[in-house]
Amino acid sequence: DSGVTQTPKHLITATGQRVTLRCSPRSGDLSVYWYQQSLDQGLQFLIQYYNGEERAKGNILERFSAQQFPDLHSELNLSSLELGDSALYFCASSERREGSDTQYFGPGTRLTVL
């Protein structure tokens, strides 16, 4: 158990809909990262927040947005969903902004878009 929690574990929705994925980092970790992993693919970095502020952006679609709240939990919002958005979405946390230390991954949210 990494100490990072993600909800929900599974999500099934239809094209065009909007969903919110939630992540709580390990106690004391200030950085939160979001990754997308499609079937048999590597992890695609989406976005990083540090202490409430956006720190780095990857190939995140404009239909996707995220935020980190004062209590350090983070939410990833996916809108106008398409079939291709079906994937595992992981959240990770680390202590330092630069992220050169360990990233601890949550169990993931499996999103299925029908």
Partner 1 sequence: GQSLEQPSEVTAVEGAIVQINCTYQTSGFYGLSWYQQHDGGAPTFLSYNALDGLEETGRFSSFLSRSDSYGYLLLQELQMKDSASYFCAVRVGTGGFKTIFGAGTRLFVKA
Task: Name the site residues for partner 1 (rule: CB under 8 A).
Answer: 2, 33, 35, 41-45, 48, 55-58, 90, 92, 97-108
Q: How far is the CB of 56 from partner 1 (least distance, A)?
A: 3
d(CA 93, CA 32): 4
Nearer to partner 1, 18 or 98 (CB): 98
Rounded to 10 degrees, the C-alpha dihedral 8/12/18/20 comes to 10
Nearer to partner 1, 14 or 68 (CB): 68
Query: How distant, in Å, are the alpha carbons of 12, 68, 85 from that of 18?
Result: 11, 18, 11
Q: How far is the CB of 74 from partner 1 (least distance, A)?
A: 16
d(CA 110, CA 98): 28
Nearer to partner 1, 17 or 51 (CB): 51
SS3 content of the chain, % helix, strand, coil (to 5): 5, 50, 45
Q: How far is the CB of 97 from partner 1 (least distance, A)?
A: 7
Q: Report residue 69 as tokens.
A: 């709240």
Nearer to partner 1, 18 or 96 (CB): 96
Q: How far is the CB of 84 from partner 1 (least distance, A)?
A: 18
